[in-house]
């Protein structure tokens, strides 16, 4: 930082920083004499029980505060993201979804990050292709754990081809080093038919299992293909038969891993089951639901939470009402079963389900998280939706109520003449909010 300082965007109420008089707009210069390069160094440096915190106030005065606190207690300073600029992705992956986006969407969607700090802070997946040995050592020093790694294949030459990056062949060396440093790793494989599936998938999973327990789990997700995929590597998506074959292969590996490692270790995303039209696994088969961010077990967890919420259902305001739920085509049949349970337990309630066809990206994209405001408006305008519409938060940007094409929730409410309630991807939240409208 060269002592320029990092601007403080928030001071948490009742925190040590607030008690010291540190305010929003002040700058952090150093902690125990060390400049702070990014938020990971900040977290590492503030774990000690005694700190000397150097702050430049907005009036230009520089103060050094002596702080005594509990080990690992946060002092209550908040920064905007990771302080310095996130690392960009230098790969040109043959399956990259961002390369398949049309123009005119929200600007942040076109940014390709490949930053271990974002992996730690936000759960993003990284390829480890832009790291030096020194940076691997830094991950270990600052205990950046868990770290989410996009693996795709452990075959060095195939990985170079899939990522279009000659630096990507050293993956196993890096994973071994992280294992030695006792960093937890969660792995992801984007499965592409005819490229890294079949025998290559078996080899990849066997290689990764050798790194257990530091490499704790692997998710497998199907490649996404949009209608804007022009001039890119020729890829096919999964059909029912191919998806069923992938699920069968992974289930066989799960059985072996369960016997050998006492964990299923590898988990297909829900989308594989929806495409193959196979039954989703039972709740217990997802173990600790460690890959929810990749759509692994979301539906099963959703249904379980609905069941729990209905079991605990107490009094509520009984009145006739019609509400509507919007979702993607894949989730609609699953949601219909859940809605039936809710209607059976809540008197005088009727719930409409509106599966939205993805005209924007193409009809092969059927997940709720890739729906746009325009498609929702075009397909729901004039429909009998009732006064309340519920939508899952996966349709929105993480920190703002806008959809992929920059429509916001207020615009949807105006166009559809209804109140919109955003629900967490948790069945209990849906039940709670249905009762509150």
- CA angle, 428 as apex, 254 and 387 as ends, to 5°? 130
409-416 helix and 373-380 helix, angle to the nearest 10 degrees = 10
> Which pair of structure tokens corresponds to residue 264?
């299923």
Say what the pLDDT of residue 119 is: 57
Rounded-to-integer distance, Cα 41 and Cα 21, Å:
23
Q: List the CATH code of the domain at 6-79.
A: 2.30.42.10
Helix (H) or strand (E) holding 195, with range, is none
Q: What percentage of residues in the chain have a pLDDT greater than 70?
A: 93
388 pLDDT higher than 80: yes
The string of pLDDT tens digits covering residues 150-191 is: 999 999 999 999 999 998 999 999 999 999 999 999 999 999
Query: Residue 200: how many CA atoms within 13 Å on its side-chain side?
Result: 19
> Which pair of structure tokens corresponds to residue 31?
């902690």
* Mean pLDDT, the chain, integer: 87
Rounded-to-integer distance, Cα 146 and Cα 167, Å:
23
Say if CB 126 and CB 116 are below 8 A apart: yes
The string of pLDDT tens digits covering residues 400-410 is: 888 989 899 99
Three-state DSSP at 68 gives strand
37 pLDDT higher than 80: no
> Which pair of structure tokens corresponds to residue 98?
């961002």
Query: Domains of the chain: which residue ranges?
Result: 6-79, 98-294, 302-436
Rounded-to-integer distance, Cα 216 and Cα 106, Å:
34
Rounded-to-integer distance, Cα 265 and Cα 268, Å:
10
Beta strands in 277-381 (DSSP E): 321-328, 349-356
- Between 9 and 112, the more confident residue is 9
Pick the CATH number of 302-436 from 1.10.3470, 3.40.50, 3.30.70, 1.10.10: 3.40.50
- Between 386 and 267, the more confident residue is 267
Distance from CA of residue 264 to its chain's centroid?
21
Output b/e per residue, 258-286; b: 16+ Cβ within 10 A: eeeeebbbbbbbbbbbbbbebebbeeeeb
Three-state DSSP at 331 gives coil
Say what the pLDDT of residue 338 is: 84
304 pLDDT higher than 80: yes
Q: List the CATH code of the domain at 98-294.
A: 3.80.30
Say what the pLDDT of residue 1 is: 39
Strand partners, 218: 187, 266
In DSSP notation, 367-381 reads: -GGG--HHHHHHHHT
Say what the pLDDT of residue 191 is: 97
Q: In terms of DSSP H, where are the helices of 89-235?
A: 116-122, 133-141, 156-163, 171-180, 199-209
Beta strands in 47-181 (DSSP E): 50-56, 62-68, 77-79, 125-126, 147-150
> Model confidence at 2, in pLDDT bands (50, 70, 90)?
very low
- In 3-state terms the chain splits into helix, strand, coil percentages (rounded to 5) of 40, 20, 45
79 pLDDT higher than 70: yes
Say what the pLDDT of residue 267 is: 97
| Token pair 């993003």: residue | 124
Q: CA torsion angle for 237, 240, 246, 248 (degrees, to 10)?
A: 180
ω into 126 cis (within 30 of 0)? no
317 pLDDT higher than 60: no
Say what the pLDDT of residue 186 is: 95
> Model confidence at 107, in pLDDT bands (50, 70, 90)?
confident
Three-state DSSP at 211 gives coil
Q: How many CB atoms lie within 10 A of CB 310?
A: 17
């Amino acid at each position: 930082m060269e002592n320029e300082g990092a601007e403080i965007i928030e001071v948490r109420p009742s925190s040590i920083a607030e008690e010291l008089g540190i305010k929003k707009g002040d700058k952090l210069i150093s902690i125990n004499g060390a400049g702070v390069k990014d938020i990971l160094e900040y977290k590492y440096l503030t774990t000690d029980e005694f700190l000397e915190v150097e702050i430049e106030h907005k009036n230009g005065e520089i103060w050094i505060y002596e702080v005594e606190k509990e080990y690992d207690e946060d002092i209550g300073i908040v920064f905007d993201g990771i302080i310095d600029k996130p690392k960009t992705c230098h790969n040109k992956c043959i399956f990259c979804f961002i390369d398949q986006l049309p123009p005119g969407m929200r600007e942040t969607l076109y940014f390709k990050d490949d930053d271990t700090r974002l992996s730690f802070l936000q759960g993003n997946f990284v390829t480890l292709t832009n790291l030096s040995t020194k940076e691997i050592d830094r991950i270990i020093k600052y205990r950046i754990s868990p770290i989410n790694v996009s693996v795709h294949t452990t075959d060095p030459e195939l990985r170079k081809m899939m990522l279009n990056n000659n630096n990507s062949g050293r993956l196993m060396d890096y994973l071994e080093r992280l294992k030695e440093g006792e960093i937890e790793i969660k792995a992801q494989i984007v499965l592409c038919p005819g490229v890294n599936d079949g025998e290559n998938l078996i080899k990849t999973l066997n290689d990764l299992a050798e790194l257990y327990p530091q490499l704790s789990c692997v998710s497998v997700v199907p490649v996404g293909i949009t209608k804007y995929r022009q001039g890119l590597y020729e890829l096919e998506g999964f059909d029912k038969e191919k998806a069923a074959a992938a699920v069968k292969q992974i289930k066989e590996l799960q059985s072996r891993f369960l016997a050998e490692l006492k964990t299923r270790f590898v988990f297909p995303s829900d989308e594989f089951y929806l495409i193959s039209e196979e039954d989703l696994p039972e709740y217990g088969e997802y173990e600790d639901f460690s890959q929810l961010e990749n759509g692994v077990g979301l539906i099963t967890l959703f249904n379980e939470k609905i069941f729990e919420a209905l079991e605990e259902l107490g009094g509520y305001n009984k009145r006739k009402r019609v509400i509507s739920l919007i979702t993607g085509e894949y989730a609609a049949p699953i949601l219909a079963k859940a809605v039936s349970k809710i209607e059976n337990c809540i008197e005088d309630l009727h719930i409409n389900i509106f599966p939205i066809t993805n005209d924007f990206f193409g009809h092969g994209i059927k997940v709720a998280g890739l729906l746009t405001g325009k498609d929702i408006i075009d397909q729901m305008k004039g429909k009998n939706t009732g006064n309340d519409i519920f939508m899952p938060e996966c349709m929105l940007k993480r920190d703002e109520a806008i959809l992929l094409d920059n429509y916001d929730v207020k615009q949807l409410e105006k166009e559809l003449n209804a109140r919109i309630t955003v629900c967490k991807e948790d069945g209990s939240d849906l039940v709670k909010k249905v009762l509150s409208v």
